[in-house]
């Protein structure tokens, strides 16, 4: 039976267009999902939109639009972006879809019946931008610790989820169960949130743009209980490849990865595991990545107005270049900078000089010396031996990084490989060679380009195809098919891969 892999991104708020930060998370998810497919997994990849809540309702009102109409327009832009970026998700879940809403209502009833929900009164400091409550001690100078905006004191009747009953349980899970990577974020979470863990307010009466509960018609479900359950309800959609039980039951064999930005780790690593536990399901596995920041180190966010539109970047640089920058240049887990200068430097220095040129030079030589037909390996070349290219070792190291979700390290391994092959050209100077030696050099080059392009195919989704067309390669990329010999292949015309900016 095929191994199975389930990967999710946060569902983003459609209060505005998405920016490069959202593109970052979704690109990582797409990368790991395509990689797992190459490894022979059956994969399911979910992304979507988190459509309820006061923030959205207010924004729609500002525009004089019905909230559903307002968000639907924005969601079409989400989908357009994912399409342009080559995101290959299976399900796009909207929290306003009936499938999701019905489940969330039923879930409220189920959790009530199990005794995990009670009605009381909420008093606390609320940040509208982040849709979350903070205790006085969590505030920064009286302002929201996440976005820095003014919070307001709120007092209203609310239903609560008995999260605090699970304080010791979740602490133990966080400390011992690898629930959250990178692991250095665990102590942050335990120190800042677990010790003060309170029950979670899960309904509101102050706005009505939300899922109404069956039990009490004044209350709508407050965003996080609604939103987090998307990771379950996505499995009820017609395009779902797996069932809820397959993914979430305690004895599930499905490999799981939930990508989130570090600011929502708390929700995904405290509340979400507890909700799952209440339903008698397994724990999640969360990877919390860092933020994309501006040159001056400021987090890019809609509320700060310093965001970059990924559609424009795709139009200027192409999606392969953008995907590569996000995966390679931002150290997975840490904050990383993005600017036009930085991506242009990467494109010129790496994608053009090292990769695209390697293909163009090899193509030119095979055409010039052998009329476009890849020659055979004739001799054992000293320069090749000395490089000590060990494809199995490279592959193993690359796979280890990927299986540990060290995305930026995985590409470094491939960059090293490309650099060695470029070094091989510099050392052998094929234009000065002839006969068996020349044939052997060019044969090596073509075969290595195939290996590199295959391994990089989950990121450079258009470029690898151009290389495959050039080589007449019809198979879909797979680790099993590496190390082929293209001797005697008639090369097609190669489409240009990357241009200098």
Work out how close the CB of 140 gets to ligand ME8 at its nearest, in angstroms, rounded to a whole number. 18
CA 71, 77, 81, 86: dihedral to nearest 10 degrees?
A: 90
Q: Is 310 in the site for ligand ME8 (CB under 6 A)?
A: no
Closest by Cα among 413, 417, 411, 490 to 449 = 417
Work out how close the CB of 34 gets to ligand ME8 at its nearest, in angstroms, rounded to a whole number. 19
Q: Which residues contact 266 (CB under 8 A, 6 or more apart)?
A: 189, 193
Cα 226 to Cα 56: distance, rounded to the nearest angstrom: 14
Q: Is 94 in the site for ligand ME8 (CB under 6 A)?
A: no
The answer to whether residues 160 and 199 touch, using CB atoms and an 8 Å cutoff, is yes
Q: Is 93 in the site for ligand ME8 (CB under 6 A)?
A: no
Q: CB-wise, 10 or 333, nearer to ligand ME8?
A: 10
Closest by Cα among 272, 308, 268 to 288 = 268
Cα 22 to Cα 52: distance, rounded to the nearest angstrom: 18
Q: Is 222 in the site for ligand ME8 (CB under 6 A)?
A: no
C-alpha radius of gyration, the chain, whole number = 26
Q: Is 67 in the site for ligand ME8 (CB under 6 A)?
A: no
Cα 286 to Cα 8: distance, rounded to the nearest angstrom: 10
Tell which one of 92, 116, 291, 405 touches ligand ME8 (CB under 6 A).
291
Tell which one of 111, 286, 300, 347 touches ligand ME8 (CB under 6 A).
300
Q: Is 366 in the site for ligand ME8 (CB under 6 A)?
A: no
Q: CB-wise, 216 or 263, nearer to ligand ME8?
A: 263
Tell which one of 67, 86, 261, 284 touches ligand ME8 (CB under 6 A).
261
Work out how close the CB of 37 gets to ligand ME8 at its nearest, in angstroms, rounded to a whole number. 22
Q: CB-wise, 127 or 452, nearer to ligand ME8?
A: 127
Query: For residue 369, how many other CB atoms are within 10 A of its CB?
Result: 17
Q: CB-wise, 235 or 421, nearer to ligand ME8?
A: 235
Q: CB-wise, 23 or 321, nearer to ligand ME8?
A: 23
The secondary structure element, H or E, covering residue 388 is: none
Cα 375 to Cα 24: distance, rounded to the nearest angstrom: 41
Q: Is 31 in the site for ligand ME8 (CB under 6 A)?
A: no
Interface size with ligand ME8, residues (CB under 6 A): 21
> What are the phi and psi torsion angles at 223 (to 5°)?
-45, -45
Work out how close the CB of 378 gets to ligand ME8 at its nearest, in angstroms, rounded to a whole number. 51
Cα 471 to Cα 454: distance, rounded to the nearest angstrom: 12
Q: Is 104 in the site for ligand ME8 (CB under 6 A)?
A: no
x-marked contacts with ligand ME8 along 38-57 as a string, rule CB under 6 A? ------------x-------
Half-sphere exposure of 480 (CA within 13 A, CB side): 7
Binding segment toward ligand ME8, per CB under 6 A, in 16-24, 160-168, 319-327, 403-411: 16-24
By beta carbon distance, the residue nearest ligand ME8 is 21
Q: Is 292 in the site for ligand ME8 (CB under 6 A)?
A: yes
Cα 288 to Cα 271: distance, rounded to the nearest angstrom: 15
Q: Is 10 in the site for ligand ME8 (CB under 6 A)?
A: yes
Work out how close the CB of 23 gets to ligand ME8 at its nearest, in angstroms, rounded to a whole number. 9
Closest by Cα among 171, 226, 225 to 200 = 225
Tell which one of 5, 13, 35, 401 touches ligand ME8 (CB under 6 A).
13
Query: For residue 98, how many other CB atoms are within 10 A of its CB?
Result: 8
Q: Is 405 in the site for ligand ME8 (CB under 6 A)?
A: no
Q: CB-wise, 13 or 401, nearer to ligand ME8?
A: 13
Q: Is 202 in the site for ligand ME8 (CB under 6 A)?
A: no
Q: Is 200 in the site for ligand ME8 (CB under 6 A)?
A: no
List, in sequence order, every residue forming a beta bridge with 293; answer none if it has no partner. Answer: 299, 337
Query: For residue 143, how many other CB atoms are within 10 A of its CB?
Result: 15
Half-sphere exposure of 127 (CA within 13 A, CB side): 20
Binding site for ligand ME8 (CB under 6 A): 10-13, 21-22, 24-25, 50, 227-228, 230, 260-261, 263-264, 291-292, 299-301
């Amino acid at each position: 039976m095929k191994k199975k892999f389930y990967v999710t991104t946060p569902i983003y708020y459609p209060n505005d267009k998405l920016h490069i930060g959202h593109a970052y998370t979704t690109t990582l998810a797409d990368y790991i999902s395509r990689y797992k497919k190459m490894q022979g997994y059956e994969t399911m990849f979910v992304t979507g939109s988190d459509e309820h809540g006061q923030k959205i309702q207010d924004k729609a009102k500002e525009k004089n639009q019905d909230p559903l109409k307002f968000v639907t327009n924005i969601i079409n832009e989400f989908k357009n972006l994912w399409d342009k970026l080559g995101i290959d998700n299976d399900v796009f879940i909207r929290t306003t879809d009936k499938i999701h809403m019905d489940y969330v209502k039923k879930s409220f009833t189920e959790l009530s019946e199990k005794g995990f929900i009670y009605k009381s009164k909420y008093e606390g400091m609320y940040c509208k931008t982040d849709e979350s409550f903070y205790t006085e001690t969590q505030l920064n100078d009286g302002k929201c610790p996440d976005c820095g905006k003014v919070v307001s004191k709120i007092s209203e009747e609310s239903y609560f989820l008995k999260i605090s009953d699970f304080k010791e349980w979740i602490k133990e899970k966080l400390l011992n169960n690898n629930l959250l990577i990178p692991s250095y974020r665990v102590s942050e979470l335990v120190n800042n949130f677990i010790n003060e863990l309170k029950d979670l307010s899960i309904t509101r009466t102050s706005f009505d743009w939300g899922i109404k509960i069956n039990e009490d018609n004044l209350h709508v479900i407050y965003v996080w209980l609604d939103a987090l359950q998307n990771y379950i309800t996505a499995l009820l959609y017609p395009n779902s490849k797996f069932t809820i039980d397959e993914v979430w039951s305690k004895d599930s064999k499905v490999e799981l990865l939930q990508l989130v930005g570090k600011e929502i780790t708390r929700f995904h690593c405290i509340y979400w595991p507890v909700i799952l536990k209440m339903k008698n399901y397994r724990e999640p596995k969360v990877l919390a990545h860092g933020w994309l920041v501006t040159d001056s180190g400021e987090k890019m966010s809609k509320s700060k107005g310093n965001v970059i539109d990924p559609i424009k970047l795709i139009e200027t640089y192409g999606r392969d270049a953008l995907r590569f920058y996000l995966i390679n240049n931002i150290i997975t887990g840490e904050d990383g900078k993005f600017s036009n200068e930085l991506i242009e430097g990467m494109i010129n220095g790496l994608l053009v000089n090292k990769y695209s040129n390697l293909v163009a030079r090899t193509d030119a030589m095979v055409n010039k010396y052998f009329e476009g037909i890849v020659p055979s390996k004739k001799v054992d070349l000293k320069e090749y031996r000395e490089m000590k290219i060990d494809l199995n070792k490279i592959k193993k190291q690359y796979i280890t990084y990927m299986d540990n979700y060290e995305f930026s390290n995985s590409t470094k391994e491939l960059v090293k490989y490309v650099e060695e092959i470029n070094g091989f050209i510099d050392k052998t100077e094929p234009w000065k060679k002839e006969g068996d030696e020349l044939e052997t050099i060019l044969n090596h080059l073509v075969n290595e380009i195939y290996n590199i392009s295959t391994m990089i195919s989950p990121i450079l989704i258009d470029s690898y195809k151009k290389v495959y067309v050039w080589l007449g390669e019809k198979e879909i990329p797979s680790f099993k098919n590496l190390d082929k010999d293209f001797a005697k292949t008639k090369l097609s015309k190669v489409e240009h891969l990357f241009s200098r900016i």
